[in-house]
């Protein structure tokens, strides 16, 4: 199984980008993991929140192949402990999915169309994080999950 993290807009913060790359590099050891960034929508100032969500939603859905499984990062989703998340990923790998796509919404979240296409929602906390920060949390937790699955000494309960 491949894992893709789909996000909208560049990360301007170099420190954040560097940290994300640290975990992306570590993940190469365990799985084909790709972070794909959809470029920011132009002239966003002229759009309502709903229009922005809809446009971002169209761009997200264009990226999906029929065999991909789409999971949303959403503060109203299911919360996991890290060990539970590692088991969740193992289950996905066992189920024969070709590519699992985790998607991070834009500043206003997801359009209804994206919700309809998704197969689940994962929350990292009830708090709202920026769409930039959550990228780092996702790559770190996916890395942590693989170290748990391989019994490697990174995670401590
Ligand atoms: C600024 S937040 C959008 C908040 C917006 N109120 C919403 O309803 O989604 C941007 C994106 O970051 C991700 N995100 C932020 N906080 C999160 C959390 N606690 N758990 C999971 N994803 C989160 C989600 O993908 C969200 O769409």
pLDDT higher than threshold 90 for residue 8: yes
- Six-digit token string for 133: 């920060």
Pairing of strands 99-104, 2-8: parallel
Q: Looking at residue 27, what is its pLDDT?
A: 97
Check residues 10 and 62 and name the one with the higher pLDDT.
Answer: 62
CA-to-CA distance for 142 and 125, rounded, in angstroms?
Answer: 16
Q: Which mutation among 11, 40, 70, 75 tests ligand 1's pocket best, with the greatest number of atoms within 8 A of CB?
A: 75
Dihedral sign of CA atoms 123, 129, 134, 137 in order: negative
Helix axes 14-27, 133-149, angle to 10 degrees: 20
Average per-residue pLDDT for the chain: 96
For residues 116-127, give the mean pLDDT.
98
106 falls in which pLDDT band (50, 70, 90)? Answer: very high
Environment class of 117 (CB within 10 Å of its CB; exposed 0-12, middle 13-18, buried 19+): middle
Instruction: Say if the ipTM goes beyond 0.90.
Output: yes
Residue 157: pLDDT over 90: no
The pLDDT score that the predictor gives to residue 25 is 97
Q: Residue 10 above 90 pLDDT?
A: no
- Is the pLDDT at 125 greater than 90? The verdict is yes
The protein residue whose alpha carbon is closest to atom 9 in ligand 1 is 109
Question: Tokens 């990174």 sit at which residue?
Answer: 154
Give percent above pLDDT 90 in the chain: 92
Asked whether the predicted pLDDT for residue 155 surpasses 90, the reply is no
How many Å apart are CA 3 and CA 88, to the nearest integer? 13
* Domain range annotation of the chain: 2-39+59-123+130-149
Residue 111 · residue 54 · CB < 8 Å:
yes
**Atom number in ligand 1 closest to CA 103:** 25
pLDDT score, position 2 = 98
The SS3 of residue 32 is: strand
DSSP H stretches of helix in the chain = 14-27, 49-62, 82-94, 112-117, 133-149
- CATH number corresponding to 2-39+59-123+130-149: 3.40.1280.10
Does 11 score more than 90 pLDDT? no
Q: Residues 109, 85: contact at Cβ < 8 Å?
A: no
Kindly report, residue by residue over 41-99, the tens digit of the pLDDT: 988 999 999 999 999 999 999 999 999 999 999 999 999 999 999 999 999 999 999 99
H/E stretch holding 35: strand 32-38
What are the binding residues for S-adenosyl-L-methionine?
73, 105, 124-129
């Amino acid at each position: 199984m491949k894992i893709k993290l789909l996000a909208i807009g560049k990360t301007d913060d170099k420190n954040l980008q560097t940290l994300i790359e640290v975990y992306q590099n570590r993940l190469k050891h365990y799985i084909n993991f790709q972070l794909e960034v959809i470029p920011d929508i132009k002239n966003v100032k002229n759009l309502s929140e709903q229009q922005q969500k809809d446009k971002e939603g169209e761009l997200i859905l264009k990226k999906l192949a029929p065999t991909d499984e789409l999971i949303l990062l959403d503060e109203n989703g299911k919360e996991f402990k890290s060990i539970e998340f590692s088991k969740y990923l193992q289950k996905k790998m066992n189920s024969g999915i070709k590519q699992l796509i985790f998607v991070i919404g834009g500043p206003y979240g997801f359009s209804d169309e994206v919700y309809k296409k998704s197969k689940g929602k994962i929350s990292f906390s009830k708090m709202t994080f920026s769409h930039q920060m959550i990228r780092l949390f996702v790559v770190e937790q996916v890395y942590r999950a693989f170290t748990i699955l391989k019994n490697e000494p990174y995670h401590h309960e």
